[in-house]
Amino acid sequence: MNKTELVDAIAKKAGLTKVDAAKALDATTDAVEAALKAGDEVRLVGFGTFSVAKRAATTGRNPRTGAEIKIPASKAPKFKAGKLLKDALN
């Protein structure tokens, strides 16, 4: 499912126009992004938890040359599915 299909599904399920559903989806993703940037977790009970994972700096190898390179520390978004979502799939 891509974003357009998700907007269509939200509009149909919530009885909204596609424009309003797109605005709602954009507002939700913006709010989640802002919370993660601030270092907070976003918990949607039954659905899951969005959080930030910190990755330490490491050294790696360039596959073409074999030269050693330094990979800087970074942050990555992480999602852990909630129990209701897991149960719905099984």
Please report the pLDDT score of residue 37 as a whole number.
95
DSSP assigned state of 73: P
Confidence label for 43 from pLDDT (cuts 50, 70 and 90): very high
- Which pLDDT does position 65 carry in this prediction? 93
Residue 5's pLDDT is what? Answer: 97
What are 54-75's pLDDT values in tens digits?
999 999 999 999 999 999 999 9
Q: What is the pLDDT of residue 89?
A: 93
User: Phi and psi dihedrals of 67, rounded to 5?
Assistant: -70, 145
Alpha-carbon dihedral 20, 26, 29, 35, rounded to 10 degrees? -100
- 35: buried, middle or exposed (CB in 10 Å: 19+, 13-18, 0-12)? middle
Phi, psi of 68 (to 5 degrees): -80, 135
- Angle ∠(76,79,81) on CA atoms, nearest 5: 170
pLDDT attached to residue 11: 96
* Mean pLDDT to the nearest integer, 45-54: 95
pLDDT of residue 88: 94
